[in-house]
Structure 1
Amino acid sequence: MLTAAQMIREVSAPSFSFELLPPLKGNSIKRVFNTVEVLKEFKPLFVNITSHRDEVYQHDEESGLVERLVFRKRPGTVAVAAAIKHRYGLRVVPHIICNGFTKSETEYALIDLNFLGIHDLLFVRGDSRYQGSHFQWRDGGHKHTLDLIHQVTELNKGHFLDSTATEVFETPFSFGVAGYPEKHVEAPDLDSDVYWLKKKVDAGAEYVITQMFFDNNRFFDFVKRCRKVGIDVPIVPGLKPVTTKDQLSVLPDIFNIQFPTQLAAELRRCKTDEDAARVGVEWSVCQSKELLANGFNLIHFFSMMATGSVSKIAGQIY
């Protein structure tokens, strides 16, 4: 069976993939299934499932002491991936992240994934939004995506962290990494960002899926920079339609992206979230058509809280 990376390389016609979130802790998986039910008609090449670290909160007790609480809002990445795979027969690509996980926890997750027959992964470091201005890794965890890559490539050779003797997995893990057309928030410049992306590709990453962007020119420039330094793996554009008025300020703040002047002006004129969602669909359709016309046959959609919009876009494109 082909890996996700092989399928991406062989895409020759307009194709679709999407990313979703595990449910909030305590919530049913039905919302996840509802998203898949809506979007599976477009025959997704694969479905990405995000991973989330613990978040730390402080609770003021009546005694005056402050209690430190650790809480993971969205557990279940491995289980959700398995549920989608076995319920719908779709190829799933769970995220594996550095942030919030020890090397041992990562190894156990990979062992579980192997038993479940899931061998396609996407590696991301994880953001620092809840740790202040700088990324803070967990004791015993990885500092960089490159470290994750090295752990998995060693596991593919049959090497566990504690040197336990093992048979080499019958199916090795195949993986991609994230790319940032407008650079990672902590990178000093795009050239530096692309330099480290090249390191990840040289270490074994087989494709790149980009962070969301709203200006195709920034994406095209990013691809040129990548090709210039010898990154020759597929680069998959990632799109997210705007669905609410406040995303004009929220998305740039969270994801370190910029809105084109024209799109920002159109969103400012919107009186309701419904107006903003309509603008978001129209803009993403135009983006998609231009990307397809330039040979990017696979477009990856971030469907979080935007399933209806993604469905409308895909209905016009595929």
Structure 2
Amino acid sequence: MRIVDLIKNSDKTAFSFELLPPLKGTGIDKLYNNVETLLEFDPKYINITTHRSEYVYKDLGNGMFQRSRERRRPGTVAVAAALLNRYNIPTVPHILCSGYSRKDTEYVLLDLQFLGITDLLILRGDKAKHESSFVPEPEGYSHALELEYQINNFNKGLFEDGSPIKSPGAPFSYGVACYPEKHEESPNMDQDIYWLKKKIEAGAEYAVTQMFFDNQKYFDFVERVRKEGINVPIIPGIKPFRKLNQLSMIPKTFKIDLPQELAAEALKCKNDDDTTALGIEWSINQCKELIKCGVPSVHFYTVGAVDSVKQIAKNIY
């Protein structure tokens, strides 16, 4: 069953969450523990992030450095398969433009199809750390919309070079990202919504928001996209506030605002334990309001916050 159907057929507000693959060589047991911490809330699906490779420089000890490319968190496809096999919960790997060529993407799609994983989240992805602006890979894509076109053609039985697939498998379905406070590179919200509409028209069945801490930003965004004829589920993405330094880090990193009420309360916190408690309380109130207003699903960003998400879910499910 497709993710959009799982959401629509849920008898209550659906629960889902996102996980980060483990660092290279650290094993998967901690990830299993994180999943098991949240199993009692009946997750409809689990998202698995992916990350591009980055340049690293190895000191050769003679005044010279060797440059190579390395991924610190490999294994998104393997993690998705492992979780599906172990828990029989649909897994949704992220598929990126960033760091991938068209051929790279094609092989990822083939691997996923062999594993029976046919739900995806399509993203452009972040720019490389050494880049001042996003640069696609050679023979890669600049926009998630282009990636959608490749997946659509794959579903029609065509490889990226236009040649036929002799034995097409089950088709992929997918969602995309959206930004209630607009993408940091977008000149304005109208342009941001224009591209979201294009992604929906190309075949995206739902959209998951970037984290936000002010529900009014979400409500205003949904109202605007509905006026533009975008009628797919807009799933709110929630990230619990946990550390004092996030007061400045979150707005800087994610280009989103923290409500003044939250900021004022955070400034009263004496340590990160106080901040974690504040973040849990704030997210509970956020989720209760969202659910009261009829959102189809709530999606949690769990990185560094699995225990907080558990406490929030206990209060709303």
Give the TM-score of the pair, scaled to structure 1: 0.96
SS in 1 for 2:312: helix
What amino acid maps onto 2:285 in structure 1? C
1:218-265 Cα deviation digits (max 9, x unpaired)? 011111111111111110000000111111122222211110001111
C-alpha displacement of 1:69: 2.9
- Equivalence for 1:118: 117
Partner residue, 2:70: 71
1:308 matched residue in structure 2: 307
Q: Look up the match of 1:255.
A: 254
Residue of structure 1 in register with 2:143 after alignment? 144
Aligned to 1:50: 49
1:278 is aligned with what amino acid?
Answer: A
Partner of 1:177: 176
AA paired with 2:57? Q
Distance 2:110 2:131 in 1: 32
Identity %: 50
Let me know the Cα RMSD of the aligned residues: 1.3
In the TM superposition, 1:161-176 aligns within 5 A as 161-167=160-166, 169-176=168-175
User: Tell me, what secondary structure is at the counterpart of 1:13?
Assistant: coil
Q: 1:256 to 1:8 in 2, by over 3 A?
A: same
> 2-side partners of 1:133 and 1:12: how far apart?
46
Partner deviation per Cα, 1:268-292 (whole Å, 9 max, x = no partner):
1111111110000000000000000
- Give the 3-state SS of the residue equivalent to 2:120 in structure 1: strand
1:302 and 1:9 map into 2 onto residues whose CA distance is 21
Matches within 5 A, 1:91-106: 91-106=90-105
1:12–1:297: 8 Å Cα contact kept in structure 2? no
C-alpha displacement of 1:139: 1.0
**Which consecutive residues of structure 2, in runs of 5 or more, have no partner in the other structure?**
none
Question: Which stretch of structure 1 is more off in the superposition, 124-133 or 275-284?
Answer: 124-133
Cα deviations across residues 112-134 of structure 1 (Å, max 9, x unaligned)?
Answer: 10010000000111012613331
Taking the aligned partners of 1:268 and 1:69, their CA distance within structure 2 comes to: 43
For 1:236, what is the secondary structure of its paired residue? strand
User: 1:138: Cα distance to partner?
Assistant: 1.1
How do 1:1-318 residues align onto structure 2 when only pairs under 5 Å count?
2-128=1-127, 130-167=129-166, 169-318=168-317
Instruction: Provide the rounded CA distance (Å) in 2 between the counterparts of 1:236 and 1:167.
Output: 36
> Aligned residues, how many?
317
Give the Cα–Cα distance (whole angstroms) in 2 for the partners of residues 252 and 300 of structure 1. Answer: 20
1: CA distance, partners of 2:133 / 2:145: 18
